[in-house]
Each structure stands twice: as C-alpha cells, then as structure tokens.
Structure 1
C-alpha cells in the first residue's frame, strides 16, 4: 500500500524537513512519488513513476524551500495500475464550475462496481483516479440540480455520504482538497496519524518524528480542515477495514505481475 502526507496551516510555512522525513520511507514504496503545493491562484504538481530516493527531480525540488499552506505528498506501493506517470498521485480534475479537486489515496478498492465505468475515462488505470472522477460526477449532479455552486458545507456533506459508502470492504485512507477544504478519512487502524502544533496540522501514514503528540486519526469519520483547524467532523460510520487473507492474496498476485514486468525490462 501507499503512504500519504498533508500539511494544512493558516500561513505559508516551509515543510522541507517533513517532506524529507516522509520521502525517506520510499524504500518500501518504490513505485512513484508525488508532491502538490496547492494555492488559491495556482498549484504546483510534481510526480514521477520512480522511487523517491532515486529521483533527481525530487532532490532538486527539495534543495529549495517548499513553502505553502496546503501541501500534499504521496509515495506509491502499487496495488492497482501500472508503474507509469498517469498512475502516480496526486490526481487533479476540475468540476463543471471550474473548481479544481486534488486526491491522494492509500488503500485499495476491492469492491465498488460503480467505479468501473470510469476505466475508459481516466488517464491511467488506478482505482484512486476513479474515486476522484466519481466524486466530481456527484458534485456536478448536485450543482446542476441546485442551479448554483455548492457551499463548503454542502460539499462536505456530499463527500461524507460518498466516502462512507465507498469504505465498505475497501481500504480508504484519503486526502482530498477542493480549493477551500482539506478532507481527511481513514478506516483502518494504525494507518494514519496527525500532529497539531504551532506550525499547523500535519497528517501522515506514520509519525514523521519522535514527537509524542502524534495521535491516530479517528477511524470511520470524515474531517474537514481549513487554516490548520478542523471545522467539520462527520458522524462515525461502521465500515472499518480489516485486512483479510483474501485481500492479501489479491494484492500479492498483483505485485507478482509488477515484479515480472520489472524483470523483463
């Protein structure tokens, strides 16, 4: 599975140290890296289908200050999709009101047939990209019926319903950004942690340092963050993901195909 990271704050801060700690985990997540620095007027997206520790591009980026209020990062251990750039996170897509959405995902969709129709629409071939396309379709449907753009609270409520349904029998650790709100969700124990301090709000798959104030993200809830604070918190759903032998078998079968492809190159 992948690892994910986000930094959310009320003021732009330099996050190089956090990112370097995060990308140091790439030995166990060698199938790609991504970095998104999201701004209100522009966003900077970089990603490659190579191990982060081997990327000269990433080294060049981190040799300069990375400063932002909404920064997201991803290192990939593929469970669905080829090792190619279109399958690296983050995924970015605009809705019909020209709002840009960004998504990074740690997990696997084992069972959600409604995503199948996006296989021919996505740029790559990951379940994660299909999640984003599905969410945007639902936002578009709501706004077309309303006849006006959605409010922040309306979008949170829509995503809360979608995420609760998507999480049934699927590992769904998500970070989503819609230009206003950062959404955080986890439904597997000990797979996502947060730290709130004077710098802002940090979330990562594993604690990035020895600070004892890192805490597990509360399971089966959707959180909405702005300016380093939780402004929305959903009710708890019942769809905790527990990895079974069948899940592990399916992941192992996919990883074997990757290793065969790598050996043939």
Structure 2
C-alpha cells in the first residue's frame, strides 16, 4: 500500500530531518512521492511518479530548510492506478465556495459503489482521488442546502459520517486538510502512529524518530487538529479493517498487473 505523514504545529518548525527519515522508507514504496507544504493558505504541492530516493527534485527541496506549520507527505506502493503523476498523492481540489482541499490516503477501497461515478471525472485512476471528489461533492451539497459556507464543526461532522460509511470493509487511513482543519483517521491496527511533543503533532504510518512517545492512533475515530492540538473527536464506529488472505491476493494481483505495464 503506502505510507503517510503529517506535521501540525502552532508555530513554523523546520522538519527536514523528519521528512528525510520518512522518505527513507521509499525502497518499499517505490511508485511515487508527494509533499504538501501549507503556507498562508497556499498549497505548495510537489510530487513525482518515481522512487523518492531517486528524485533529484526532492533532494533539492530537502537541501534547504523546510519550515512550516502544516506539512503532509506520501510515498506510494501502487495497488490501484497506473504509476503516473496524476495518481501520486496529495490530491487537491476546490469546492464550490473556492475552499482548497487536500487528501492523502493509505489503504484500498475494495467495495464502495458511491465512488464509482467519479471515475469519469477524476484526473488519474485511483480510489484515493475518488474519495476526495466524493467528500467535496457532499460538502457542496450540504452548503447548497444551507445556503452558506459550512462551519469547521459542520465539515468535521459531515466528514466523520462519510468516512464511517467508506470504512466498511475498506482500509481508510486518511489525512485531509481544508485550509483550517487537519483530519486524521485510521481503521487498521498498527498502521498509524502519533507523537505529541513541544514541537507539535506528528502522525505517520510508522514512527519516524527515536522518541519514546510514539503511540498507536486510536482506531475508528476521526480527529480534527489545529495548531498541534486535537479540537474535535468523533464517536467511535465499528468498522475496523482486518487484512485477510483474500485481500492480500487481490492486492498482489493488482500490483502484478501494474508492474507488468511499467
């Protein structure tokens, strides 16, 4: 599958060391890398469909201090979609009120028919991009009915409801950013960890520092984070994802098909 990372703080911090440790995992996730640096509500996105360790562009980025309050990163092991730039995370999109959204995903949607219609309009061909389009579609519908932009809490509640539905039978480890709030969700044991320290809030698929404070993310809940603090926490749903032999066979078949087309 993939690995995901985010850093969230109340003050800009230099996080080159964390990112270098994260991207060192690219030998096992060689099909692309992505980096989202949120600066003054501007989404600065860099991504390539190559192994992070082989990217000169990424080396150039990390050769300079990367200082920010909000950073997201992704390394891809393709199980859905070709190895092309449009299939690399992060994905970004505008809603009808011109709010920018970003999403990175570690997991697979094995079955969720409401996503199918977005295959016709997505830029690439991944289930992850379809999740973002589905979320924005529902945000647009909510705000149209309301007749006004949604509040942060309204968006959080709606996304919690959508993710509960998405997570039935599917692995849905997500990081989402809407310009105000960072959303974090995991529904598979031992697949997402967090560290809260003086620098801020770090979340990653595996611990990326030697700190003793890394803890497994609480399962089956959506968390909303601003300035390094959890401000919203949803109710727990019951859709923990258990990886089975059937899932493994499905993903291996998909990976073999993708690799054969490289």
- TM bracket, shorter-chain basis: over 0.9
TM-fit CA distance, 1:257:
1.1
Segments ≥4 residues shifted beyond 3 Å:
none
Q: Does 1:116 pair with 2:116?
A: yes
Q: Which runs of 5+ in 2 are unaligned?
A: none
Q: Which runs of 5+ in 1 are unaligned?
A: none
- Partners of 1:160 and 1:174 in 2: CA distance: 11
- Partners of 2:39 and 2:162 in 1: CA distance: 26
CA spacing shift, 1:41–1:233, aligned 2, 3 Å: closer
Q: Which residue of 2 aligns with 1:98?
A: 98
Q: Does 1:72 pair with 2:81?
A: no
TM-fit CA distance, 1:198:
0.3
Contact (CA 8 Å) 2:27, 2:53: kept in 1 or not?
yes
TM-fit CA distance, 1:55:
0.2
- Partners of 2:123 and 2:179 in 1: CA distance: 22
- Partners of 2:38 and 2:149 in 1: CA distance: 21
- Partners of 1:39 and 1:222 in 2: CA distance: 24
Contact (CA 8 Å) 1:40, 1:179: kept in 2 or not?
no
Q: Secondary structure, in 3 states, of the residue corresponding to 1:107?
A: strand
Q: Which residue of 2 aligns with 1:205?
A: 205
- Partners of 1:80 and 1:37 in 2: CA distance: 25
- Partners of 1:53 and 1:39 in 2: CA distance: 25
- Partners of 2:259 and 2:252 in 1: CA distance: 10
Matched pairs, number = 262
TM-score for both structures, normalised by structure 2: 0.99
Higher strand residue share: 2
TM-fit CA distance, 1:40:
3.1
Q: Which residue of 2 aligns with 1:107?
A: 107
TM-fit CA distance, 1:259:
2.1
> How big is each residue's C-alpha offset from its partner over 1:1-29, in whole Å with a ceiling of 9 and x where there is no partner?
10000000001111100000000000000
RMSD of aligned Cα (Å): 0.6
- Partners of 2:226 and 2:140 in 1: CA distance: 23
Task: Report 1:49-88 matches (<5 A).
Answer: 49-88=49-88
Contact (CA 8 Å) 1:34, 1:46: kept in 2 or not?
yes
TM-score for both structures, normalised by structure 1: 0.98
